[in-house]
Structure 1
C-alpha cells in the first residue's frame, strides 16, 4: 500500500470532495444535540450531492483561502482535509491569522491506518510555514482531535425562556429604534456589525467570503424551521448597533407551537441589547423563546426579575485551538496581571514547542523565551490551547489532574494572568 500526502490540485478537487461526508451522504456530526441549533427536530439525514451541487462545490473550493490536502492510497484519494485562512481576535484586541481546519474525512474503508494523522501533520506544517501560529476547528466528535493537540477554547449555550416569565427588573427607555427589515437590508447590516463586534470580542473569527450572501435571497433551512425574519436596532443617529435573525416555525406538536427561535444576535451597546431582547421575549402570539449560539456569560439572566426564567438546555464546546508556536502565541496577546512563570510544555506532534519556556507577562504584553530553570507549571499543548483565550481556568485543569504545579501559587498566578474581562466567544465558524 503506497501512501502519499500532498495538496490537492484543481483537477483532483472533485475526487477530494467525494470523500467528504456532506458530499457522499454520510453523517458529518455526532447525533447529540448541539448548542448551535435552536430547533427541536432531528437534523435531517445527509443525501449524496448531485452533479450540479458538486459543480458548485468545486467552484467554491478553488479559492485562494481554501487549501485542501489529501491522502492518496495507491493513487486514489482515501481521505482529506483543508485549511481556510481566517483571523481570530486575541486578548488585547490583536487580530491574528488562524488556520481553520475544515472539510475533514477519511473513507470508512481506510480508517485505522494513520491517514488522518499524516494529513493533519502536513496541514499544521503548512500553517506554520505561512506564519499561522494558531490552528482551530469545530469538532464534529469530541474524541478525535485531542490526539493532534487541539482542545476546546470557546463554548456556546442554548437556552430558552417562557414568554410569561420574561419580566425585566427595571423599565428602560430606548433612545434608539427597532425595525423589521428584509433579507437584502440584513445582508448589508450583518457584515458591518460583525466587523465591529470582532474588533472587541476575544475569540471571534473573521467570516469566510459569502457568509451572509444567502440572507438576501432567503430560502428555507433543511430542518423546516421556516423563513428568516430580521430585526435591527438603530442608535439615535440612525446607525445600526444591533441585529437579530429569528424564525417562527410551524409545528403539528402543540408543545412546539409558538416558539420563536433566535439563530443570530449581536448588540454593540446595552441599549441595543435590552431593546432587541425586550421585543424578542414579548413577541405577539408566541409562548417561548429559544436562543442558540449564545455566550456562556450571557447577561440577560441578570436583567430578569426571575433569573430562573432563563433555562440552559444545551452547552457545547465551539472553537478548538491548537498552538503551533508557543513563543509567538504567548507574545501575541496581553495579560490581566503582571508576573513570570516557567512553563514546561509537552507536544508530541510539533516538537519545536516541547520544552521549558519563560513567560514574562503584563497588561502591556509579554516576552517568551526558552528557559533552563525548573518548571513552575507543566502542561501539554492541549491544555495551553484551552487556556489561551481565557475561556478555561488553569485551576479547573489542575483540579482535573491535567496541569502539574511545581511551585506553590503557580496555578493561581496563571489564572490571574489569563483572566478575561468577558468569556471568549465566537458566533461565526468556518
Structure 2
C-alpha cells in the first residue's frame, strides 16, 4: 500500500503524538497538554501506511531576530520522524518537499529553521548551522568569579515558584529579544515552555527555582531559573551541582549579580551551564581560569532561506556591501541563480541579476552565514564559498558578520 501524506485530521493528534514519542524513545505524558496547545495542527503532517503512522513533521510559526534587530517570520520545523520500518522510501524527502513548498506558497516566511538530533540529515535539504551554544562545567571552588563593581547595588530575591513571577521574567526576555540574532519572540503559550519541570526528569535535583535581580525601586532587571542537585564524596566533602536552566538580564549589574549568586551557593561546588551564547559575558568574569570551566560548544539552530531575495533583504549588514551572489539550491530551485545584494546598517535589497557572479555558494552556506555566526571567509577556507572577483569575499564576510553572536534561546 502506498504511503499517504496528509495534514492531521480532527481527533488524530494523540495518536500522532504517541507515534512521535515512540520514535524518540521518550515518555512525555507530563508534557502532553502543553505540546497539544503549541502544535499548529493545520501545519502538521502525518505519513500513513494504512492506519499506521510511519512519519511526521510539523511547522511552528515564529518571529526571529535577524542582524539589525528586525523580527522576521520563520517556519520552525519540528516533530520530524520516520518509522524504522519505513526508512529509505523517500518519506522524509516528501515531507520536506511539502513543507517548503507550502511555506513558499504562503509567502509570509522567508526563513525555515530547525534544531536537529541528527544534524547530518538536513544539509542535503539546504540547512546550514547558523548558531552554536556554549556548555560548561565550572568548578566554582577553583575558579574565582569577578563581577563588575556595579553588581554590588543589585538586590536578589529567590522565588520557589517560578510560575508566580513568569510575567516579570517574560518582560525581561521580551526586551532582550531584539538585541541578539537568533532569539525568538515568545508567541502565546511558549512562555510556559521554560517552566516545564517534570519530577521524573529531575534526576535527583530539586524543583526549579528562580532568582530575581531588582534595582533599588524593586524593578526586575534580570532573572535566573535553576535547580540544585546535592552530592557528597566518600569523605563527606560536598560535591553538589547548580543546574542553570536559563538567565536573562537587562544590564551588567543585574547580570553580574545573578552569576555571582549561582557561583556562591553553599555546598554546590559545580555550576553546570547549558545552551548559552558562545560570547556569554561570564567568560570574561573568571580572570584567566576559563579553561577550568571546561567550556565546549554544540550546534544550535539550523537555517535555510525559503526565498533568498526576501531573506537577504530582511536583515541589515555591518558594513556596506554590493555583491553578486551565485546561489546553488538543488532542493528549492527557485532560489538558484544570481542575486545582487546591496545594503548596509540601515537595510538592504536583494534582486535577481544578469551580472557576473562575484561569490558562489550553496544555499546551505548562505543559511550558515545568515545570522552572522559563521564567517563567509571561514566557509571559503573550507572550500564551501568561491570568490569570483578579488576582494568580494572580504567585503561580504565583513558585512555579514555581527558584533553579537547569534543564539537560539530554547529548542522547539
Cα 1:289/1:352, change in 2 over 3 Å: same
Structure 1 counterpart SS, 2:229? coil
The C-alpha deviation readout for 1:195-219, integer Å capped at 9, x for no partner, is 1111222110123543344777965
State the shift of 1:360 in Å: 0.8
Query: Please, what is the CA RMSD of the aligned residues?
Result: 2.5
Is residue 2:84 matched to residue 1:108?
yes
Q: 1:360 aligns with which of 342, 345, 348?
A: 342
Partner of 2:306: 324
Query: Is the 2:160–2:208 contact (alpha carbons within 8 Å) kept by the matching residues of 1?
Result: no
Structure 1 counterpart SS, 2:63? strand
Cα 1:160/1:186, change in 2 over 3 Å: farther
Cα 1:342/1:256, change in 2 over 3 Å: farther
State the shift of 1:188 in Å: 2.4
Which structure 2 residues correspond to residues 181-260 of structure 1 after superposition, within 5 A? 181-183=159-161, 184-207=163-186, 209-213=188-192, 220=199, 222-224=201-203, 225-251=205-231, 257-260=239-242
Distance in 2 between the 1:277 and 1:239 partners? 18
Partner of 2:128: 151
Query: Is the 1:334–1:363 contact (alpha carbons within 8 Å) kept by the matching residues of 2?
Result: yes
Is residue 2:9 matched to residue 1:12?
no
- Give the unaligned 5+ runs of structure 2: none
Query: Is the 2:148–2:252 contact (alpha carbons within 8 Å) kept by the matching residues of 1?
Result: no
Question: TM-score, structure 2 length as denominator?
Answer: 0.91
Which of structure 1's runs of 4+ aligned residues deviate more than 6 A?
A: 214-217
The C-alpha deviation readout for 1:152-180, integer Å capped at 9, x for no partner, is 10110111322232241764453331111
- Give the unaligned 5+ runs of structure 1: 29-45
State the shift of 1:2 in Å: 2.0
Which structure 2 residues correspond to residues 252-331 of structure 1 after superposition, within 5 A? 257-308=239-290, 311-331=293-313
The C-alpha deviation readout for 1:15-43, integer Å capped at 9, x for no partner, is 322331xx22x436xxxxxxxxxxxxxxx
State the shift of 1:251 in Å: 3.9
Cα 1:173/1:267, change in 2 over 3 Å: closer
Partner of 1:27: 24
Distance in 2 between the 1:384 and 1:408 partners? 19
Query: Is the 1:138–1:319 contact (alpha carbons within 8 Å) kept by the matching residues of 2?
Result: yes
Distance in 2 between the 1:216 and 1:152 partners? 27
Partner of 1:175: 153
State the shift of 1:335 in Å: 0.5
Which is worse superposed, 391-400 or 234-243? 234-243
The C-alpha deviation readout for 1:84-123, integer Å capped at 9, x for no partner, is 1111011111111111111111111001111001011111
Structure 1 counterpart SS, 2:323? strand
Query: Is the 1:301–1:310 contact (alpha carbons within 8 Å) kept by the matching residues of 2?
Result: no
Partner of 1:162: 139
Question: TM-score, structure 1 length as denominator?
Answer: 0.87
Distance in 1 between the 2:285 and 2:339 partners? 44
Cα 1:213/1:203, change in 2 over 3 Å: closer
